[in-house]
Amino acid sequence: MRVLGIDPGLTRCGIGVVDGRPGRPPDLVGVDVIRTPTELDTARRLRRLEEELDGWLAEHRPDTVAVERVFAQHNVQTVMGTAQAAGVAMLVAARRGIPVATHTPSEVKAAITGSGRADKAQVTAMVTRILRLAAPPRPADAADALALAICQVWRGGTSARYESAGDSAAEAARRQRSALARARAQAGTGRSGASPTVPPVNVRPRRVS
């Protein structure tokens, strides 16, 4: 399964692609951060974001797109831009017929670290370990996008598999938790088999001119 994770934002939009399957640590395919010029009006910035995201979909052809679910924040202006960027991401995926999944930050944290209250540093550290990277993805938007993609591989993949097998909701949830625990344990102990050589990941946000 190939998943493209999107941490939506109008100023910075994190994007990350991983290949994997439930119960096993996934592999990094690509990661980046898109910036749009603040001097442009909102409509043009969203158009630039749409073009960049569509290019990633065309290049990597993911099976699913995972987008962070927008939640209320104190800064209304910030949450508006985030919601607009999330809408563009879902539209671009839908236009290509790619399924879209959304996850709250707490769902992603729980899938990656085992705790829905983990901080950004803990999430970044686990993403680095799970993907067997030589260095943490920077900036945080890049790590968050990869965390979303990993969450979808582990949570979305296990849910679909167990539902297709006819498990009850409770049994599917139990099996899903067991699969997540195994995957985190394998990532922490290096029992996932031979790991590919991955160069240090230090993303420089790309400004879309």
Residues tagged active-site: 7, 68, 141
Cα–Cα distance, 33 to 133 (Å, whole number): 17
Flag whether 7 is marked binding: yes
Cα–Cα distance, 50 to 28 (Å, whole number): 23
Token pair for residue 83? 């919601």
Helix H segments across 61-200?
76-95, 105-113, 120-130, 140-151, 157-164, 169-189
CB 26 within 8 A of CB 156: no
Flag whether 141 is marked binding: yes
Flag whether 63 is marked binding: no
Q: How many residues does the chain have?
A: 209
Which amino acid, 130? I
**114: exposed, middle or buried (C-beta count within 10 Å: 0-12, 13-18, 19+)?**
middle
Q: Which residues are annotated as a binding site for Mg(2+)?
A: 7, 68, 141
Q: Which residues are annotated as a binding site?
A: 7, 68, 141
